[in-house]
Amino acid sequence: MNTPQSTFKVTFLGTGTSLGVPIPGCKCEVCSSNDKRDKRLRTSCLITFENIVNKTALRPLQIAIDAGPDFRYQMLRADVQHLDAILITHEHRDHTAGLDDVRAYNYLQQKAMPLYGNKKALQGVEKMMYYAFHPMYPGVPEFELHFLDVNNDKYFTVGGIDIVPIEVMHAKLPVLAYRIGNFAYITDAKTISEKEKQKLNGVKTLVVNALREEEHFSHFTLQQALDLIEEIKPDVAYLTHMSHLMGPYETFQKRLPANVFLAYDGLQIHAQ
């Protein structure tokens, strides 16, 4: 297994929960905030390998994690001119509902978009996007499905980059987290088995979901996310997939440990 030899850029395209922030009709302090860091689209990120070139197109390799209902706007806002693959965490619509907009990249790149995910997630995509897999007219999105099995696939490779799939549980639903080098991205997790947790050993930059402070049946609370961070001991950690109950940013950030940060839309970090 090869790991990246240089740093890569991670752009947080969205850091909100399934309803996003603000929530329509809500007038709470966070939803009414004028701080742009409190405006959260559905959770997604973009990974850019600035020093690794797609040999076919002679451009930096770029991979997205998830494509929720805000995908089109997120791609425009981040000025994403090309996309080499999408890693799917799970089939819920707040993580997959934007896949129809992959058509733009199909046209530009003249190829199907590679999608990586577990069997359940990709079967969910096939069901949701049935018209893409049984086309009756031109212009539908085109996908190339890559089914992952954490029991057999210790890692998979995209554009020369090795990626480790890690299974976490979203209540009873298996979700894939992903590790690239010393960076790991976890969303919609409530529990992680000890076996899968071992795949996080040595992670230096950890992104993990933290829905709110109150208990939730399928998401980490703030304290549960902080407990995982304390156990893994990364150099730095970022919280994502946050509801309007996790803010406002300006005051909430001050409550966190020195190496833990609330991620926000548009934030860019470098990992290795």
In a domain, 3, yes or no: no
Residue from 196, 206, 191, 199 nearest 259 by CA: 206
Q: What was the pLDDT predicted at 55?
A: 60
Give the integer Cα–Cα distance in Å for 176 and 165: 6
20 within domain boundaries: yes
Domain that includes residue 234, residue range: 8-271
Tell me the pTM: 0.96
Q: Please report the pLDDT score of residue 133 as a whole number.
A: 93
What are the C-alpha distances in Å from 27 to residues 19, 33, 241, 243?
14, 9, 20, 14
Backbone angles phi, psi at 205, to 5 degrees: -125, 115
In a domain, 245, yes or no: yes
Q: Would you say residue 227 lies in a domain?
A: yes
- pLDDT score, position 58: 65
Closest by CA to 160, choosing from 6, 48, 54, is 54
Q: CA 32 to CA 160: how far, in whole Å?
A: 44
Classify residue 49: in a domain, yes or no: yes
The C-alpha angle with vertex 269 and arms to 265 and 270, in degrees rounded to 5, equals 155
Residue 32: CATH number of its domain: 3.60.15.10
Q: How many domains does the chain have?
A: 1
Contact 162, 171 (CB under 8 A): no
In a domain, 115, yes or no: yes
166: in domain: yes
pLDDT at 135: 82
Instruction: Kindly state whether residue 2 falls inside one of the protein's structural domains.
Output: no
Q: What is the pLDDT of residue 59?
A: 86
129 Cβ neighbours under 8 A, 6+ residues apart: 99, 100, 141, 143
Strand 113-118, strand 143-148: pairing: parallel
pLDDT tens digits for the chain (272 residues)?
Answer: 655 557 899 999 999 999 999 999 999 999 999 999 999 999 999 999 987 766 656 689 999 999 999 999 999 999 999 999 999 999 999 999 999 999 999 999 999 999 999 999 999 999 999 999 998 888 999 999 999 999 999 999 999 999 999 999 999 999 999 999 999 999 999 999 999 999 999 999 999 999 999 999 999 999 999 999 999 999 999 999 999 999 899 999 999 999 999 999 999 999 99
